[in-house]
Amino acid sequence: MIEGVTVSLSCLPINSAKAASLTTEIISETIFDDKDRIKELLESWKSRLEDSIQNSHTYSANLSMSNISIEDKYWRHTNGLDIYYFLKNLIQNWDKNWDKSKAKLKNCYNKLFNKNGVKYIVASNSKYENKTKSELESIIEGLDKIEVKPANKNISLAQNRESVITNSRINSTAITGKLDKYHGSMTVLTQNLNFGYLWENIRVLGGAYGGQIKMNIFGEIRLFSYRDPHIENTIKTFQGIADEIEKMELTKKELDKLIIGAISSTELNKNMNDRSRVLGRMAEEEIGLTLDMLAKRRKEILSTTTDELKSHSTAIRKVIDNNNICTVGNREAINKNINLFDKNWEI
């Protein structure tokens, strides 16, 4: 989780000085006097958030996880459902609250664009590395240096089974949770479930575009469907996963294929551009993902056995039975299953 703001720039080496100059200008000379233009930008942001809520197939899983994870709660406040409603209210009362909003924007700007706490990372040909670093440091030198009190991180978490009604004709339903312990073989297990049980039951039999299970190195588990006509049937399918794992039988050839798929899924995308690599590595550092952790996962994936896969059924059953569900989608479908939810939102 990156707490703050990320500024990135990409350019040819010959243009690096100009890129640094333009970035400095944008960062240090932004003004907050054009009320109508700022409102337009906020309306555009609100529109993008609305589109993300309605069309992102992972949104239901992220929203579900925000009730039990500090990192996802932070996302919810800054780029999720909470900021959407904040923007909606802000825009509705824009003229009335303009002076207060302008002052808050300036205050936020001064805290974010500040020398203290700045980190940077460079992807460059070694021939230009020192020059690029020097130009980045010149951007940082142009910032003010002020002391900023750390944000209050006492974010409260409370499990809520939530639904979000949108204009969509289909749904995305999720169950999420946290495992007591992660093991690399769980990545192999996700390969088997995604291309077997979930494919057959969510897509083939259920008529959805797809369904997935994801388990990350920090023990977070996300089960979700997308472009799904169902809600209750999908939840029942998720609830059957532990039983499916317990009766799993694989040949050596089948297991080897899953291991290869798992290794491939954890490898850095070779087609990724330098900007994406840099931002990805910075994010990994922020969340505490070390090279030793990645090496351990790889070793555990390569040594996976069928018995090891089956042993995870109890931990996964525990997460699913906790019933931390969320659905984003169709009004009629959600209203038919309204008893499944504690809290209901509408976009």
> pLDDT per position in the chain (347 positions), as tens?
556 778 888 888 888 889 889 988 888 888 889 999 999 999 999 999 999 998 888 899 999 999 999 889 988 998 899 999 999 999 999 999 999 999 999 888 888 888 877 877 777 778 888 888 888 888 888 888 877 776 666 777 888 899 999 999 999 999 999 999 999 999 999 999 999 999 999 999 999 999 999 999 999 999 999 999 999 999 999 999 999 999 999 999 999 999 999 999 887 655 566 667 666 766 777 778 888 998 999 999 999 999 999 999 999 999 999 999 999 999 999 999 999 999 999 99
Q: Give CA angle at 276 (272, 280), nearest 5°.
A: 115
Of 47, 9, 83, the closest CA to residue 279 belongs to 9
Of 297, 304, 300, 301, the closest CA to residue 252 belongs to 304
Q: Around Cβ 102, how many Cβ atoms within 10 Å?
A: 14
- pLDDT of 51 reads 92
Tokens of 129: 């590395």
Residue with structure tokens 């080897």?
Answer: 256
Of 99, 98, 58, the closest CA to residue 79 belongs to 58
The length of the chain, given as a count of residues = 347
Domain ranges in the chain with CATH number 3.30.830.10: 13-141, 162-346
Tokens of 248: 């799993």
13-141 belongs to CATH 3.30.830.10: yes
Pairing verdict, β 325-330 and 162-166: parallel
Burial class of 103 by CB neighbour count within 10 A (0 to 12, 13 to 18, 19+): exposed
- pLDDT of 268 reads 61
162-346 belongs to CATH 3.50.30.10: no
